[in-house]
Chains A and B, each alone.
Chain A
């Protein structure tokens, strides 16, 4: 792991609404994710997990505090600069419906690179490499509706890490999968992090959280008592 965190939250809060209708959805929360680290975020519904993920991925802005993504302070960035960060640094994997149905698996993976202006050939080369890492090269030309749920999630992971993208934010990525496919997806995620990339994983499932290096517990928008638990990156791997 390098000393420079890929993601850092510094006393971040998010408040929805104003005045008497104001609702604090998150914070204050402080934590950092280093390169090569897989961090799980757990907590009950409404604890602020998805809000945390949205802020981490530059989809939402904090009300207070500072977020550094790849060293860039998100508060000072324009919408266009935030979009650039989403193309180059951070990738998302949701519970389901991650892929554009009109694009093949390869084209879905290549999408952020093409959005960034790469030529089709170069974008596809890098997308092929990303698919190779999740062992889906053979299905590259298939459309999403020709893939199983597990395969779709693996394509989404490949897209999240395509090119130079180094941080994956996953919101219940195995929630719609059976246990076998869920474990396969977690194995892929772990492999990517072992290769030097980073990931933040929101999950309700303790067995999936066990694949992480650390677990953050959120309750009512704050890190719970004890804040976080280090699993030393070994507790559940392959279990």
Chain B
């Protein structure tokens, strides 16, 4: 009861603080929103674009239960003798044909259906889809696919030659799974013979003996074929490619949430540090460590919940907006947007979970700070110990072993292994960073003042800078990983010497690269803001001894560049290790690629950019 009362009071304090520090709150909300939007929107688009068993059945069976290819062409009366009396059936034809209009000719697939077979209650409905005009209603009428009409330059109402016979084009129709295929749809003359049939037995269990049909030379296909086996026309290679794409999506999605959590951790660290005295006052008035911890975590959870709601709306909104272009992107009739509930649920759980994980360490540190120290506004410098180094080395070793063993396992295990091992390596390198910072600080004596102070401060507050370096290296590792993967895929495409549809993946990779660099810069600037807060007293001393504003700006720039550089150097192994795992998993067809230009951009470009950004914003930085 007391705990609830305390929580209510402290949550009020948290929410007011969130409102007062609106920019920081919106940053947290934005990070969750983007991650959730990517997962919800991506999930909906992925589900909509994926071929379901129902869609595959409709593509090959229409509304029938069974498809039959008879040994000889049969007339309907002859075929009726092969099926139970209550069964419905319809015959259709499918053959290569030549179409001519004026001087233009084209090869296409000629489909013939009985009148009404593609209508609402027809057995063939779903095999073709009418998109304009009307269905052919006589043997001298046809419908063309838009691609065939374009190729021939023919319009509705005009007459063309199909296999030498004149037909009037009365409609446009497509194969739902192959929108760009060239086809023509004509009406099958009543009573004509054909080898292709669609059968509905009117009962739950087809009373047809498939073995007997097989022995008689007929071939059958039914819904079970599409449930049990990969779809016709898509062999093993197609399935492997799908799994690889899913694996990449899974790793990148997981990394995105992990990165969001790290950036949020840096944001919360800044916020908690700025509010140290406020937290001290709350403790001085009787709040326990648990009271403070609960309130800080729930405050973060509240912000994350707003992000989840906004992210879900944004993701689904964007998916709804881009859905009309989906058919042109993957060349099939995707139908209306399908919302993926598992993705929404996962995002709704992962968003607050990443925010809570991000809050936990800074909140624990703030809540456990002795009240008198919190009230004084000082923070004791934490000494980097060898324990962090040992922990880091253990994590790196475990991550590497996990990766090597995991990529040999089945799909789901491999995906989880690559993600888990990557995160373990990033965390391991991050855990080593306080020790590295401390070691570098001891050797900074020869550096110019600003750089010396930056190195010494980074070493002095090594335990605080560890998460910051981790956030930087994780963001950069993502861009290194993407660049490495893009290089591997590029190499594969070049080797094939044939057009391969990798455009969307490469676009995604380049977008990811840009986002990673922006995120890295954001993290570095947040880290610099945090360092500025920690060093307000030092800044006053520098002012007092006559340091001009330029020196203060140089110091801010040096702090940003120093952390960016360390993050960049550590990001190389952190990005290349999971890339190697993914490439190994994808198959020997892909060769591992080291993205040297990207590594150079990370090691030189980002620190320079960070220096300039911190230098320019040093005087304008918000004090909230």
Contact = CB atoms under 8 A, between A and B. Distances in A.
Interface string A33-68: 000000000000000000000100101100000000
Contacts of B81: none
Contacts of A103: 12-13, 16
Interface stretch (A77-85, A134-142, A175-183, A201-209): A77-85
Interface string B1-40: 1111110111011001101100000000000000000000
Contacts of A91: 285
Contacts of A19: none
Nearest to A98: B281
Interface string A81-122: 001111110011010011111110001001110111111100
B521 to A, nearest CB: 31
B282 A100 contact: yes
A219 to B, nearest CB: 22
Given A79-B289, A86-B286, A111 B9 contact: yes
Contacts of B281: 97-100
B278 interface: yes
Nearest to A85: B286
Interface stretch (B132-140, B205-213, B368-376, B436-444): B368-376
A117 B6 contact: yes
Interface in B356-407: 370-372, 375
A159 interface: yes
A228 B472 CA distance: 58
Interface string B274-292: 0001100111111111010
Contact of A92 (B6, B17, B277, B284): B284
Nearest to A102: B16
Contacts of A83: 283, 286-288, 291
Nearest to B278: A100
A114 B9 CA distance: 6
Interface string A5-43: 000000000000000000000000000000000000000
Nearest to B10: A115
Given A92-B284, A100-B13, A114 B372 contact: no
Contacts of A116: 2, 5-6, 286
Given A98-B281, A101-B20, A115 B372 contact: no
Nearest to A60: B372
Contact of B5 (A88, A97, A102, A119): A119
Nearest to B377: A97
A91 B375 CA distance: 14
Contact of A115 (B5, B19, B289): B5
A75 to B, nearest CB: 16
B278 A101 contact: yes
B1 A112 contact: no
Contacts of A88: 286
A85 to B, nearest CB: 8
Given A117-B1, A120-B8, A94 B286 contact: no
A111 B282 contact: yes
Contacts of A102: 12-13, 16-17, 19-20
Contacts of B17: 102
Contact of A159 (B13, B285, B289, B370): B285
B368 to A, nearest CB: 10
Nearest to B376: A50
A169 to B, nearest CB: 10
B370 A60 contact: yes
Contacts of A86: 283-286
Contacts of B278: 100-101
A102 B274 CA distance: 14
Given A79-B289, A114-B6, 10 more contacts: A80-B288, A86-B283, A100-B281, A110-B9, A114-B9, A115-B5, A115-B287, A115-B291, A117-B2, A117-B3
Interface of B: 1-6, 8-10, 12-13, 16-17, 19-20, 277-278, 281-289, 291, 370-372, 375
Interface of A: 54, 57, 59-60, 79-80, 83-88, 91-92, 94, 97-103, 107, 110-112, 114-120, 159
15 contacts: A59-B375, A83-B286, A83-B288, A86-B284, A86-B285, A87-B286, A91-B285, A94-B375, A100-B282, A102-B13, A111-B285, A114-B5, A114-B9, A115-B9, A159-B285
10 nearest CB pairs, A to B: A87-B286, A102-B16, A117-B2, A114-B9, A117-B5, A86-B286, A83-B288, A115-B6, A112-B285, A59-B371
